[in-house]
Structure 1
Amino acid sequence: MDCTFSDILREGERLDNIGFGDLKLIQKPDEFCYGVDAVILADFAARGGMRWEEGNKNGPDGYRGRLSVCDLGTGTGIIPFILSHKLPQAEVIAGLEVQKDSAERAIRGAALNGLSDKVRIVHGDVSDNDSLARLKEEAETEGFDIVVTNPPYFEGGSGLTGKNEAKYIARSETTGKLEDFIKAAAYLLKEKGDFYMVHRPSRLADICWICRKYRIEPKAMRFVSPTLSDEPNILLFHGVLGGGRELRVRKPLAVYDENGNYSQEINIIYER
């Protein structure tokens, strides 16, 4: 059931207009809030990892017919909401979130955006088989065409420690490790289905090794840096379940231009 602005916010929450057709997102400022990595991941997935013509800014021609999409670690729903706009042919977009409060915000956000029939949110854990089974049930599918994930970047015991538990869980491998996310994606995907992930370049060797362990063949990657003169600090990764062996490294993406403004491509991704 869809709902209105007046009855959707709880104490300490705010409602952000994220664009993309006037979509709204419920966030709690003192907890984890989305960043540019989620937005560029959604665009990367919507354009098929750019395995189709790179000049195609409106999404890949390769995705036709009914599409089922799944987001692992969906937070408050940023990636499913953006994909609902960038992949309008997707009939169902499921999201799995381990933190109950975040999952509940995603459900309310879907209702506010009029997406309750398309975006299905499940509160659960990527390492829990029952949670993964519920995702398939919610999406009414035996396997997803596309699985995306923006998992925690920091290994357990590294990075930030947890004065703010919700933020710590979102950023650190406390409830799910990198291998858990990739293993879950392999279980959820159809054969030849597409897997998209954003992570840190320092984990590239781990990502490729774990993906091959679960039959996800690395197909494309793209490095993202603050400017073209900086070292990359973000990695966009595309793999295919049961895919053939051919890996392409795409041209790098800079978030900012030489004047400190958002780059032309970032503005295109944000549809500004």
Structure 2
Amino acid sequence: MTEANLQAGERLDGLPSQQVNVIQNPDMFSYSLDAVLLAHFAKPNKKGRGVTVDLGAGTGAVGLFYAKKVTGRVMLVEIQADLAKMAERSVKLNQLDDRVSVIHSDMQEVFDQIKPGSVDTVLCNPPYFQVKETTKQNQDEHYQIARHEVAIDLPKLAQTANKLLKNKGKFFMVHRPERLADIFAALTARGLEVKHIQFVYGKADREANMVLVEAIKQGRAGGVRVLPPIIAYTAANDYTKQVEKILYGQPWTIE
């Protein structure tokens, strides 16, 4: 791993199990546990040799964590120039620039750089919150785009993923459980059939606060499987053994 050469306001956050460090600036946006769990959850096509695209990559966390368990090309698509530049530096920092690249683009306009129907796996940690007249949005542009559906919404995201993917290609996403009806509707209407979901709970006695979703382009309708839950924290606010293994255990492998 090369030297980080951090700029003002930046810090280095790492995922020990994957031996990956990501350059971040908390004043712009920082990844959290949802990014780690999405990268861990994703089960790629072609035993990891296929092409992967991370849509709305931010500083590149999801794509970089995922890249260490596959051998194929990974493309990180990010609309915000500052975040795309940080992602580029993180790619070089982790010495992955031989097969991981950053594309600074609106994901809906990326098709001149990524051929439609050429991608095996699409990953996305999208903005969770709809924009309504009563919605309170963060005034910081970086956080606004990352958290609210101002640049992309679920139907447009589903259409973009469908257009990128090959038939039987896989789409993986992390979102909020309260949006599950919207997620199913958006994906199914655009040829992405949900096959697996996994709920994430902050603590065992609380409602789920995340949901991980796998869908297949032109997959057979029905047959959705709900995987065993992930519990993030113990009653004492420590990581559970389950999450500790993901964060600090052995490098992830394709099962």
TM-score, normalised relative to structure 1: 0.85
SS state of the match for residue 208, structure 2? Answer: coil
- Alpha-carbon distance in structure 2 between the residues aligned to 1:225 and 1:65: 28
1:201 equivalent to 2:198? Answer no
- Alpha-carbon distance in structure 2 between the residues aligned to 1:84 and 1:20: 13
- Alpha-carbon distance in structure 2 between the residues aligned to 1:112 and 1:67: 23
1:83 equivalent to 2:70? Answer no
- Report the residue type matching 2:8 in the other structure: E
- Alpha-carbon distance in structure 2 between the residues aligned to 1:223 and 1:88: 24
When the two chains are superposed, the root-mean-square deviation of aligned CA atoms in Å is 1.9
Q: CA deviation at 1:217?
A: 0.5
- Alpha-carbon distance in structure 1 between the residues aligned to 2:70 and 2:57: 19
SS state of the match for residue 97, structure 2? Answer: coil
The answer to whether the 8 Å contact 1:20/1:270 transfers is yes
1:120 matched residue in structure 2: 101
The answer to whether the 8 Å contact 1:216/1:242 transfers is yes
Unaligned 5+ runs, structure 2: 250-255
Unaligned 5+ runs, structure 1: 49-61
- Alpha-carbon distance in structure 2 between the residues aligned to 1:66 and 1:145: 9
Q: CA deviation at 1:267?
A: 1.2
2:56 matched residue in structure 1: 73
2:216 matched residue in structure 1: 240
Residue from 118, 122, 147 that aligns with 1:143: 118
The answer to whether the 8 Å contact 1:122/1:135 transfers is no
- Alpha-carbon distance in structure 2 between the residues aligned to 1:182 and 1:28: 29
- Alpha-carbon distance in structure 1 between the residues aligned to 2:136 and 2:76: 25
1:36 matched residue in structure 2: 33
> With CA pairs under 8 Å and 6+ residues apart, which has the higher RCO, 1 or 2?
2
Residue from 84, 93, 96 that aligns with 1:103: 84
2:111 matched residue in structure 1: 132
Q: CA deviation at 1:162?
A: 2.8
Aligned length: 247
SS state of the match for residue 267, structure 1? Answer: helix
SS state of the match for residue 74, structure 2? Answer: strand
Distance change (3 Å), C-alpha of 1:9 and 1:258: closer
Distance change (3 Å), C-alpha of 1:65 and 1:211: closer
The answer to whether the 8 Å contact 2:47/2:70 transfers is no
Q: CA deviation at 1:84?
A: 1.5
The answer to whether the 8 Å contact 2:128/2:175 transfers is yes
Q: Deviations over 1:211-251 (max 9, x none)?
A: 11111001010111111211001011110001112111112
2:240 matched residue in structure 1: 263
Q: CA deviation at 1:270?
A: 1.3
Q: CA deviation at 1:64?
A: 2.6
1:252 equivalent to 2:229? Answer yes
Q: Percentage identity across aligned positions? A: 35
Q: Deviations over 1:47-83 (max 9, x none)?
A: x6xxxxxxxxxxxxx7436221111010011011101
Distance change (3 Å), C-alpha of 1:65 and 1:255: closer
Residue from 129, 145, 153 that aligns with 1:177: 153
- Alpha-carbon distance in structure 1 between the residues aligned to 2:135 and 2:173: 20
TM-score, normalised relative to structure 2: 0.90
Distance change (3 Å), C-alpha of 1:135 and 1:10: farther
Q: Deviations over 1:88-126 (max 9, x none)?
A: 33x200111111100111011101111111111111112
SS state of the match for residue 109, structure 1? Answer: helix
- Alpha-carbon distance in structure 2 between the residues aligned to 1:180 and 1:225: 28
Q: Deviations over 1:149-198 (max 9, x none)?
A: 00000112465423221111111111111112111111111100111100
SS state of the match for residue 42, structure 2? Answer: helix
Distance change (3 Å), C-alpha of 1:101 and 1:190: same
Q: CA deviation at 1:203?
A: 0.9
Moved more, 254-263 or 216-225: 254-263
- Alpha-carbon distance in structure 1 between the residues aligned to 2:197 and 2:175: 11
1:56 matched residue in structure 2: none
The answer to whether the 8 Å contact 2:17/2:246 transfers is no
